[in-house]
Structure 1
Amino acid sequence: MMPYSAKPIARVLVALGVVSVVCSEVAAAHVRFVTNAEQAGEGLTFLADALADPVNVAVLGGGGLATLGALGVYLRVRPLQRDVAVFRNVMTGYRDLLPWLLRLGFGLPLVGAGFAGYFFNPIVEPVAAPGLVRLFQIGLGFALLFGIATRVAAIVGVLVYLLALVSQPLLLYSFEWVPGLVAIALIGSGRPSADEVLQKVAAAEGTVYGRIDPVHRAASWLNRNADPYERFVPTIIRVGMGLSFVFLGLFEKLLAPEMALSVVEQYDLTALAPFPAELWVLGAGFAELGLGLAILSGFFTRISALTALSVFVLTLFGIPDDPVLAHIGLFSLASALLITGAGAYALDNHIGADKPAMAHDGATPADE
């Protein structure tokens, strides 16, 4: 039980940590999706000048220390154990819907990209045959949405993305496609899906389709070989999402100051909170970098995922021109981590950050 005198301290630390992250992350949109600036700027020069200001250092350092302090207090005191236990059990109960969540999260953006005419993200256009590229993305998106030949569709999607990345490096700004599609390829279609319906029709005695069954006979080898690796889906999602955040924090904010500063000016964010424009950029960049490293290493994974979801929601309200469809994939990955937890090879498994004590009624949370 937490001593009474420590409760106000814990509350203050938690509040400071949350405020520091959330306020800075209001500026943390996909900068290249909304900026009017054409030059990235001198990132190292910007960092040297901005961090030479003691006010900037004090604000950033205070926010970081408050966040670390709040996490330390949580590990020592373990407040709200019953609440956390019930939350984790409820989330774990949604595991059977995880394939559907991922299919929606990456099928919808593909269909949207096809109809809008861009290639995987709004700053990349097809280099050739735009009509065919649009049809390809729409078809692939609907295959994921309906869950038909799901694993094949996901493998095709990730291969096309990786091949295009060689000539279109701006696709890195939507790197979430890689963990998302790889996860779908491993976890399969789940339910509800067309694959499940066809499989049950094929398995039923006396059906005409059961005598033909071209899809599932051809896909049986792929399914048998993918199933053993399904347990790594949480790790793949976590690492891929963490790398995306780290990349965006560095190359969209800290090392692209002109673009990031233009977003602050474009949306008059300094009127929202009286911070200098460079502090907005520093706060957004370092917060995104820190959040990415936390997710990447599996450090307070569910709390980090909740923070990411809050950031996405605030960004959509704070940056109204930021395309919603371009963020649905990240929404689905963060939601998936709430369901799965950190998975294998995570710090949470060693520090017990996501494993609260036994609930009062004797129920224990599900294992990671």
Structure 2
Amino acid sequence: MIRRIARSAIPVGAATIFLSGIATAHVDYVVDADPETIGEAIQFVITTMSDPLNAVLLAVGAVGLVGLLAGWILVRPFPRDIAEFRATMKEYTDLVPWLLRIGIGFPLVGAGFAGYYFSPAVPIEARLLQIGIGFLLLFGLATRAVAAIGLVAYVVGLVVDPRILLANEFVGGFLAIILLGAGRPSADDVLQRVAEADSTVYGRIDPIHRIAVWFQHLVVDYKVYLPTLLRVSLGLNFVYLGFVQKLMSPQSALAVVDKYNLTVVVPAPPELWVVGAGVTEIAVGIVLLLGLFTRGFSLVAFLLFTTTLFGLPDDPVLAHLSLYGLVSVLLITGSGPLALDNRLQPTETDSRRPSMAD
């Protein structure tokens, strides 16, 4: 009986997450709205939740999500399929540095040509800087040093215009690239191989490869924390967008709902769309921070990004590639250390059933 109920809860909860997530977007990218006070935002949330129907619908969504997670733990459906999926994902580990370079490099090149600084909400020209960093990351040349320069450029921009926080995933991306290096294929890998070969002229005249080897030995013990770094980066991004861009900027979010007629997609009050989208993003962020069902929620996040891109025709695609890149890496790595997923691994007596946690 419990198993049948849990199996029913899984599709219901999944549908709730999907429908709530359709409204997720970087609000400042697609609408212009006057700034709101904290008091107005709090009053909006209180008024919305004071409506019994809204409260019931949000409660049903929350119960559906909890039922989905509990059902997944109790039933562990499709064990062989998921075990094969996890094993296949781990075979792509060597591609992680390449994915990170693409996920960070392309958005920077696009930002340089489009005339904004990291985030489309910050119309500051930095063409040479961003295109240069982006192309060098894509080529994989001086990768760690270039990523460090990009990180400094982001921090400086944040001091100038706090709206760059809308693109805070770049921090995690730059740090991850500094930690892992260029990987392969990359110019750094080619040059390193030439430098390490016997009797090469390049190996004698270029000291950079020695520094690279020294740094690799310095950080090698910390590479295991790459998934933790990315989870924290993405989790904070989701929490920030849900809280600041939705719950604390309800009029801007309402403008998005009105602009794209989202109430036609799912017949719900606009206020419920805004609060539901904000709560959903915050929930996904918290789950990622905790490292709970990491691969599952990374897949949900990937679907939400895709839904946003197809559902909002004038949302800048390049601005989301960094998020796609980080989420794709988490699909490969799983939750890593310092995650609740590790507590949900199957016990020794139940080792025949693979964990559904991450």
**Shorter-normalised TM range:** over 0.9
Q: 1:249 to 1:354 in 2, by over 3 A?
A: farther
> What is aligned with 2:52?
54
Match of 1:32 in 2: 28
Q: Aligned residues, how many? A: 355
Q: Which residue number in structure 2 is paired with residue 76 of structure 1? A: 74
The amino acid across from 1:163 in the alignment is: V
In the alignment, is residue 155 of structure 1 matched against residue 148 of structure 2?
yes
1:250 aligns with 2:246: no
Residue type of the partner of 2:8? V
1:254·1:285 contact (CA, 8 Å) conserved in 2? yes
- Secondary structure at 2:17's aligned position in 1? helix
Structure 2 counterparts to residues 289-368 of structure 1, below 5 A: 289-352=282-345, 358=351
TM-score scaled by length of structure 1: 0.92
| Within-5 A mapping of 1:163-178 | 163-178=156-171
The answer to whether the Cα contact below 8 Å between 2:10 and 2:72 also exists between their aligned partners in 1 is no
CA distance in structure 2 between the aligned counterparts of 1:354 and 1:88, rounded to whole angstroms: 18
Q: Distance in 1 between matches of 2:107 and 2:347?
A: 31
Task: State the distance in 1 between where 2:261 and 2:150 align.
Answer: 38
| Identity, % of aligned positions | 48
Quote the Cα distance in structure 1 between the aligned partners of 2:181 and 2:351: 33
Residues 299 and 353, structure 1, Cα contact 8 Å, conserved in 2: no
Select which of 8, 11, 18 maps to 1:15: 11
CA contact (8 A) 2:111 2:130 kept: yes
Map of 1:96 onto structure 2? 94
Give, in angstroms, the shift of residue 174 of structure 1: 0.7
After TM superposition, the score normalised by the length of structure 2 is 0.94
Counterpart-to-counterpart distance in 1, 2:227 and 2:299: 15
Partner of residue 206, structure 1: 199
For the 8 Å contact 1:253–1:260, the answer to whether it is kept is yes
Inter-partner Cα distance in structure 1 for 2:350 and 2:326: 27
Equivalent position of 1:117 in the other structure: 115
Q: Secondary structure at the match of 1:166?
A: helix
Q: Deviations over 1:163-217 (max 9, x none)?
A: 2212211011111001111011001111111100011111222333222224313
CA distance in 2, matches of 1:40, 1:11: 43
Change (3 A) 1:355 1:265: farther
Q: Deviations over 1:20-58 (max 9, x none)?
A: 111111110111110132334621010010000011111
Contact preservation (8 Å) 1:300, 1:353: no
The one-letter code of the counterpart of 1:113 is A
3-state SS of paired residue (2:160) = coil
Q: What is the rounded CA distance, in whole Å, between the counterparts of 1:357 and 1:112 in structure 2?
A: 49
> 1:185-204 maps to which residues of 2 (within 5 A)?
185-204=178-197
CA contact (8 A) 1:245 1:289 kept: yes
Q: CA deviation at 1:7?
A: 5.1
Give the CA RMSD over aligned residues: 2.1
Q: Is the 8 A contact 1:302 1:354 kept in 2?
A: no
- More displaced 10-residue stretch of structure 1: 34-43 or 168-177: 34-43
Residue number among 104, 107, 110 corresponding to 1:106 in the alignment: 104
CA distance in 1, matches of 2:293, 2:211: 41
